[in-house]
Structure 1
Amino acid sequence: MQSKVRSMQSFADNIRSLISKTHDLQYYGITSYLESMGTTHVSVLTEDGSAVSVTSSINHIFGSKFLSPSTGIILNDVLFDFCTISNFGEQPPSSMAPVLLKSQSKTLVIGSTGGNMITTGMASALMNHLWFGKSLKDAINSPVVYVDSENAVKFEPNFEKDVIEALKKKGHNHQPATRFYNVVNTMEKEDSCISAWSDERKKGKAAVLDHYK
């Protein structure tokens, strides 16, 4: 275990040595199709049972355009929200919902990106998995319904048509969906079995180290 820690430390030190400053756009190969803002989530579960669920966002590309001199990490975790969105004091409105759930036999690490669709994605995945017994893959990949800030109900393609029609009859304001960008990723340990899944909506892939296989 100590050798693996030293190896990881050596790798991190090498990457850190390559970071000097924020360069101009050409240095990073920026192209017109690259999204200019965004959030990332990482769910981690280690061999000894340690778990981390963390969501972070630089908002616009390069964030605040300041970086940590010791790590090279670009700073701006949701600070953009203070400037243009929040009218209610110091706390920015964020839907971030990193979660750790633990019972005697199971540990679940889960989180999501996707702005205000995070809550929808998280609730859907957790209910599908914990209440309805779906696998992590099926729980996350299942179509979701999203109610936006205008109180319009939007359904992901392939959502159950009978549910859509029932809600229409109840008078819900249904609008065609444009795109769904909630992206959930999770890891779970049940007894000695490890499973992981990353949302395919943005072509996510889960990484499981060799000693877990």
Structure 2
Amino acid sequence: MPPPSSGGPAMVLVLNILSQYGVPSGVSGPLGVHRLVEALKHAFAIRMNLGDPDFVDVTKVVSDMLSPEFAKDLKKKISDERTFKPKHYVLNYFFGALMLSPSTGIVLNNEMDDFSIPMKSIGDHDVPPPAPANFIRPGKRPLSSMAPTIVLKDGKVKASVGASGGIFIIAGTTEVFLNHFFLNMDPLSSVLAPRIYHQLIPNSVLYENWTTVYDDHFEIPKETRDVLEKKGHVLAPIAGGMISQFIVQESYGKLVAVSDPRKGGFPSGY
């Protein structure tokens, strides 16, 4: 999906970085999670240069994000031993704006929060710096994180994956893709696996640790958290994140669909 959605280019950049480590061994275990976090931090740094192509020229930025050669250069900046501060790497909510229209009963979205605001982050290291390419202008579309993804093999559709969840969409959709196509998990396990999130600023790893209203518990293993902390990552638990939908075309012609149980979803076929 092209800009002003940033999900597609960001996912491709992360996957191009990680594919250089070897599949599946290079993206497995706690070290694989560390590499994923570092790739996400680089992707979100580059993402700050995106905006509505009707207002800013993002041709070079998108071209770089889709380039395997550009990904190789970024991989050279990743250390397996430690993470770095944001300068090393050159919000939506479940109930939108938390406002209900009295005339329609519709819960309003908070899409305007997808714009960058000048001077918003001055003195606050937990807020991303202003991104001029995504400043508010009349008629301008805000940068989004939508990442509807169709996977092709030999010119035929192999799978589709997408999600809701605002800024968490990019990391979560990438993880579902990695789980199935890199780590060889079945579709259900790919969606059920606990997730981590990073958006560069604030410089902290958000990891799932929660029990849903349906009594399903999701938590990144302590072993993985310990390894990440030893590498300098600051970790914080999160009760929530992105909600995924995943459909896979199996080799024998059968469609396998998974609707994320985190929100009580279940697939329906017709």
TM-score by length of 2: 0.47
Counterpart secondary structure, 1:94: coil
Deviates more, 1:132-141 or 1:90-99: 90-99
Which residue of 2 is the match for residue 138 of structure 1? 189
Residue 99 of structure 1: how far off its partner (Å): 0.7
2:230 corresponds to 1:207: no
Q: Can you give the 5+ residue segments of structure 1 that lack an aligned partner in the other structure?
A: 1-34, 39-58, 67-73
2:96 corresponds to 1:37: yes
Pairs within 5 Å for 1:88-167: 88-89=134-135, 90-104=140-154, 106-148=157-199, 149-157=201-209, 158-167=219-228
Which residue of 2 is the match for residue 189 of structure 1? 249
Residue 160 of structure 1: how far off its partner (Å): 2.2
Question: RMSD in angstroms over aligned alpha carbons?
Answer: 3.0
Counterpart secondary structure, 2:245: strand
Which residue of 2 is the match for residue 13 of structure 1? none
Counterpart secondary structure, 1:143: coil
Relative contact order higher in (CA < 8 Å, ≥ 6 apart): 2
Structure number with the higher helix fraction is 2
Which residue of 2 is the match for residue 170 of structure 1? 231
Q: Distance in 1 between matches of 2:191 and 2:221?
A: 16
Contact 2:248 2:255 in 1 (8 A): yes
Which residue of 2 is the match for residue 22 of structure 1? none
Higher-Rg member (1/2)? 1
Partner AA of 2:96 in structure 1: M
Does the C-alpha gap of structure 1 residues 131 and 115 become closer, same or farther in structure 2, counting only changes over 3 Å? same
Paired residue total: 144
Q: Distance in 2 between matches of 1:171 and 1:117?
A: 22
Q: Can you give the 5+ residue segments of structure 2 that lack an aligned partner in the other structure?
A: 1-93, 118-130, 210-218
Q: Distance in 2 between matches of 1:126 and 1:140?
A: 9
Residue 144 of structure 1: how far off its partner (Å): 0.7
Which residue of 2 is the match for residue 80 of structure 1? 112
TM-score by length of 1: 0.58
Partner AA of 2:202 in structure 1: E
Structure number with the higher strand fraction is 1
Residue 179 of structure 1: how far off its partner (Å): 1.2
Contact 1:184 1:199 in 2 (8 A): yes
Residue 198 of structure 1 is aligned with which of 259, 263, 268?
259
Residue 163 of structure 1: how far off its partner (Å): 1.6
